[in-house]
């Protein structure tokens, strides 16, 4: 995913990458990030393929006292929102509407495939909002619940 986007952003240089080991991915990513910070002190950003991995890197960044590093991830879970609200290095995540995606798939299955009809489309697209400290839901809320309750989806 990241590799597909990098050609559009020639100023972004990848200093290092790490493939997480499971189980214990967050701890593994923390250890890897500690080593990356030692080998590449010039680093100023971290992208994680999902928030659990990013959280491990965030822990290493905090332990190193590096408040100049911005960390971003993908998932939008409650612990991520806690980290974003804290004002630390975890600055942004994207919060896919997993329930909305499942709803679209099940609806298509029910309305078309079980009736022997072809699908109306091959792909479905759902909104995947960017969540920062400016539109982060309060503690205990998932992003979708927050928006459904009528709270702001866009930054203030």
Cα 5-35-39 angle, rounded to 5 deg:
75
pTM for this model (two decimals): 0.84
User: What length is written for the chain?
Assistant: 156
59: in domain = yes
Residue 6 CA to chain centroid, in angstroms? Answer: 17
9: in domain = no
Scan for tokens 């109306």, then name that residue. 120
The top-scoring range by mean pLDDT among 51-60, 73-82, 147-156 is: 51-60
Domain residues for the domain of 82 are: 22-148
Check whether 64 has a pLDDT greater than 90: yes
- In this prediction, residue 100 carries a pLDDT of 79
45: in domain = yes
128: in domain = yes
Residues 27-48: pLDDT tens digits? Answer: 999 999 999 999 999 999 999 9
The pair of three-digit structure tokens given for residue 8, joined into one six-digit string? 């559009």
10: in domain = no
Nearest to 14 by CA among 46, 53, 41: 46
- In this prediction, residue 154 carries a pLDDT of 57
Q: How many domains would you assign to the chain?
A: 1
Phi/psi of residue 93, nearest 5 degrees: -140, 165
12: in domain = no
Residue 109's CATH number: 3.40.50.2300
97: in domain = yes
3: in domain = no
Q: Is 44 helix (H, G, I), strand (E, B) or coil?
A: coil
Q: What is the CB neighbour count within 10 angstroms for residue 68?
A: 10
């Amino acid at each position: 995913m990241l590799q597909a986007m990098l050609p559009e952003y020639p100023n972004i240089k990848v200093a290092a990458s790490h493939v997480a080991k499971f189980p214990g991915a967050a701890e593994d990513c923390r250890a890897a990030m500690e080593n990356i910070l030692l080998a590449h002190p010039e680093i100023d950003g971290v992208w994680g393929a999902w928030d659990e991995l990013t959280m491990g890197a965030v822990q290493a960044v905090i332990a190193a006292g590096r408040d100049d590093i911005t960390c971003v991830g993908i998932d939008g879970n409650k612990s991520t929102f806690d980290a974003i609200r804290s004002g630390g290095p975890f600055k942004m995540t994207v919060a896919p509407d997993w329930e909305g995606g499942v709803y679209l798939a099940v609806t298509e299955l029910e309305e078309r495939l079980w009736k022997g009809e072809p699908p109306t489309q091959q792909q479905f697209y759902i909104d995947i909002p960017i969540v920062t400290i400016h539109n982060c839901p309060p503690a205990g809320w998932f992003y979708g619940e927050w928006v459904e309750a009528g709270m702001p989806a866009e930054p203030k």
